[in-house]
Amino acid sequence: MINWFPGHMAKTKRLIVENIKLADVVVELIDARVPNSSRNPLLNDIIGEKPRLVILTKEDLADKNATALWKEYYKQQGAAALSCNFLRGNKNIKKEILGAVRLQAKEILEKRARKGIIKKSVRTMVVGIPNVGKSTLINFLAGKTAAETGDKPGVTRGKQWIRLDKDVELLDMPGMLWPKLDDQEVSCKLAATGAISDLVFDQVELVLWLIEWLLTNAAGSLAARYKITEKENTSETLANIASKRGFLRSGGELDLEKTAIMVIDEFRAGKIGHFTLDMLSSKETSEEQNHE
Ligand SMILES: Nc1nc2c(ncn2[C@@H]2O[C@H](COP(=O)(O)OP(=O)(O)O)[C@@H](O)[C@H]2O)c(=O)[nH]1
Ligand SMILES: [Mg+2]
């Protein structure tokens, strides 16, 4: 677990700024379950006008309709947007990603051609907050042989460009972004999806927040999973789950801690359902607030 103290953020930002200079197209990973909350607020400033491909990761765990709407939203913003389940990555997804990167780089390549530079590859790098799937994507795209042949002279020490195809290269190191933790709601969403460490939150408090979200936005999902009666009161609903599962302490009282950990685990694994915690309207609202 990384502690995002200010000095750490400054260093991380410096590194990303340096690396982004070398890339033609930035691949920004965001978690399809929390497309707004899992974005780094400073990334727009850092990337500037550079072409961008947004990939919504873990689409297998998110709400399908919401993912489609979010992709539309990013396209309207001028980025290319795809969604993937990297655990079931196949050749088509790789082709799609490379195609989108090429398309985003088209203008840059044309500009280079006008200057007489023709053979230069498109360089791309992956950025995102912890746990969003950066390493999984790089391993999936690069494969082992690509990583081994990626070493080239003239590249800053410690950095390697991995060749993905004749005309596309990928930086072997992802750009690690810090999550936004100044907003309690956003922090809860990131904790619930596993983007931030379990040590940061009291698990019972977190599960009460999650139960509240599910009762409000996906009524019936807890009842179906745990064969319980949902209550308006979140604590009572949690107690119902604990007693249904027989989670008791030695004294016979309900073990809410153990129940919390179980529910959070099952939520993250998609066993309670496939949910997107960030709705588009809340994103728009938060943008309005930022402008005030
Ligand atoms: N369900 C699901 N899990 C994924 C997907 N992509 C990555 N993961 C899992 O998410 C976790 C974090 O991935 P990792 O690549 O280490 O994230 P990083 O910290 O950004 O490098 C790992 O347990 C991956 O197996 C996906 O598309 N679907
Ligand atoms: Mg990683």
227-281, pLDDT tens digit by residue? 999 999 999 999 999 999 999 999 999 999 999 999 999 999 999 999 999 998 7
- Quick one: which of 40, 38, 26, 8 has its CA closest to 171? 26
User: Which residues is 31 bridged to in the sheet?
Assistant: 57
What is the average pLDDT score of the chain? 87
Query: Tell me, what's the pLDDT at 145?
Result: 44
- Quick one: which of 170, 146, 167 has its CA closest to 25? 170
Q: Is residue 284, in this structure, part of any structural domain at all?
A: no
60 Cβ below 6 A of ligand 1: yes
Domain that holds residue 67: 6-176
- Quick one: which of 95, 49, 32, 45 has its CA closest to 280? 32
150 Cβ below 6 A of ligand 1: no
Are residues 96 and 169 located together in one domain of the fold?
A: yes
Are residues 158 and 251 located together in one domain of the fold?
A: no
In angstroms, what is the span from residue 92 Cα to ligand 2's centroid?
Answer: 23
Cα dihedral across residues 189, 194, 199, 203: positive or negative: positive
Query: Tell me, what's the pLDDT at 3?
Result: 64
Domains in the chain: how many in total?
Answer: 2
Give the ligand 1 atom nearest the CA of 89: 27
Are residues 237 and 165 located together in one domain of the fold?
A: no
Are residues 159 and 224 located together in one domain of the fold?
A: no
Task: Give yes or no for residue 5 having a pLDDT over 80.
Answer: no
On whether the CB atoms of residues 63 and 52 are closer than 8 A, the answer is no
Greater confidence (73 vs 148) lies with 73
- pTM score: 0.89
61 Cβ below 6 A of ligand 1: yes
Are residues 228 and 169 located together in one domain of the fold?
A: no
Are residues 113 and 143 located together in one domain of the fold?
A: yes
- Quick one: which of 237, 241, 284 has its CA closest to 265? 241
Quote the tokens at residue 193.
């999806």
On whether the CB atoms of residues 222 and 259 are closer than 8 A, the answer is no
Enumerate residues 6+ apart whose C-beta is below 8 A from 269: none
Are residues 119 and 162 located together in one domain of the fold?
A: yes
Ligand 1, atom 7: nearest CA belongs to which residue? 133
Length of the chain: 292
Neighbours of 230 (CB within 10 A): 20
- Quick one: which of 85, 53, 1 has its CA closest to 270? 85
- The DSSP element (H or E) to which 74 belongs, if any, is helix 64-76
Domain end point (choices 176, 203, 232): 176
133 Cβ below 6 A of ligand 1: yes
Q: Is residue 233, in this structure, part of any structural domain at all?
A: yes
